[in-house]
């Protein structure tokens, strides 16, 4: 079994590798995704001024329940936490478009581009954000 400390170190190395290649500006901010076991958060960050421009989280979405089904970009049905992540992506994209931001740089953090992270990205793309 992999020790928790080793897993954490791997995640930190992965995040450093991702962050060394991307940076957000005021015109093209960084879309940072954080997923815990229960919640999902998304932020648009301007790294030059070290400011969060827009933020969204799963508790902002009250009308989505775990039984509701959402269809993603590739027409697959999403349920549970993945559906909530999709809706968080749509919400952060709507807030970004209100602030006249169309292009972003995607930062997946320590997680792989799979599951809830991918669903959030699909939701943001569906609302009109470009990566």
At 107, which CATH number? 3.30.420.100
Q: What is the per-residue pLDDT across 37-69, written as a single tens digit (0 to 9) for each?
A: 999 999 999 999 999 999 999 988 865 554 556
CA 65 to each of CA 35, 38, 71, 87, 124: distance values in angstroms, whole numbers, following the listed order: 18, 14, 14, 11, 19
Contact 107, 21 (CB under 8 A): no
pTM of the model: 0.82
Gap between the Cα atoms of 74 and 72, Å rounded: 6
Mean pLDDT, range 88-103, rounded to an integer: 95
Beta-bridged to residue 32, according to DSSP, are 43, 107
| Domain, as residue range, for 82 | 4-127
The number of folded domains in the chain is 1
- Report the chain's C-alpha Rg in angstroms: 15
């Amino acid at each position: 079994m992999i020790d928790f400390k080793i897993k954490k170190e791997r995640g930190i190395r992965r995040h450093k590798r991702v962050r060394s290649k991307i940076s957000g500006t005021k015109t093209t901010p960084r879309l940072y995704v954080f997923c815990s076991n229960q919640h999902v958060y998304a932020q648009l960050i301007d790294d030059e001024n070290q400011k969060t421009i827009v933020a969204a989280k799963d508790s902002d979405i009250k009308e989505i329940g775990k039984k509701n089904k959402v269809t993603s970009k590739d027409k697959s049905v999403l349920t549970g936490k993945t559906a909530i992540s999709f809706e968080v992506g749509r919400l952060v994209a709507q807030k970004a478009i209100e602030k006249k931001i169309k292009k972003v740089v995607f930062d997946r953090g320590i997680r792989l581009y799979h599951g809830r992270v991918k669903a959030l990205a699909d939701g943001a793309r569906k609302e009109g954000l470009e990566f």
